[in-house]
Amino acid sequence: MISAVDALQRLRDGNRRFVSDEVSAEIQASREHHPGAAQAQSPFAIILACSDSRVPTELIFDLGIGDLFVIRVAGNIVATSQIGSIEFAAKQFGTRLVVVLGHSNCGAIIATLQELALKESHRSPNLRAIVDCVRPALEPVLSEDSDMDDEAVISSCVRANVFASIERLQTGSLILEQLIDAGNLHIVGAEYSIETGIVEFFDDD
């Protein structure tokens, strides 16, 4: 399995190709169905992404079948099932990179902001569970700077939610903690711009 550094570079390179519309013939071929894919898998990165239909994970990284282990859930939140899925991929396949991928104009973020502003109350207990998971990351943003416009608030909240998910992964699993401490797993955050197609990685933050 490739290193986290090399895996991150592959994601950067793939997104650059996606944005510049330079999809390689090799990647196009890897998207075609082939019986050999049923034998085994060795994804080089684990992506925890939002379920938003405008964020087609493999496509924005110009990758094909078998390249990524993708977990999608509204608001790219971290709950027990998401942690278990990441534990499985990291242990079973030796995948060394996890990316928590948020995105601009995220519906789960906006729904939570509306809830906090008392503009909308979510009566579905299932939807409320998502809002309640996102809420703790957003409250500090709202209390720190009340002068931001709506667009800036959403942008700051998207990033805060990504970092909150990273923290939950780093501290909510003994398996992941051990892998991180041993240098066998690296978790980074990122944000996909629906407007531009560019993925910004937060690995330096």
Q: Give the Cα separation of 198 and 191 in Å (integer).
A: 8
**pLDDT tens track of the chain, all 205 residues?**
899 999 999 999 999 999 998 876 776 766 666 666 667 789 999 999 999 999 999 999 999 889 999 999 999 999 999 999 999 999 999 999 999 999 999 988 998 888 877 766 656 788 778 888 888 888 888 887 666 778 888 999 999 999 999 999 999 999 999 999 999 999 999 999 999 999 999 975 5
Q: Where are the domains of the chain?
A: 4-201
Q: Give the Cα separation of 154 and 178 in Å (integer).
A: 34
Q: What is the pTM of this model?
A: 0.89
| CATH code for the domain defined by 4-201 | 3.40.1050.10
Rg (C-alpha) for the chain, rounded Å, is 17
So what's the pLDDT on residue 39?
A: 72
Nearest Cα neighbor of 55 from 165, 159, 196, 201 is 196
Which residues, 6+ apart, have CB-to-CB distance to 104 below 8 Å? 154, 155, 158, 191, 192, 193, 194, 195
Q: Do 176 and 83 touch, CB atoms closer than 8 A? A: yes
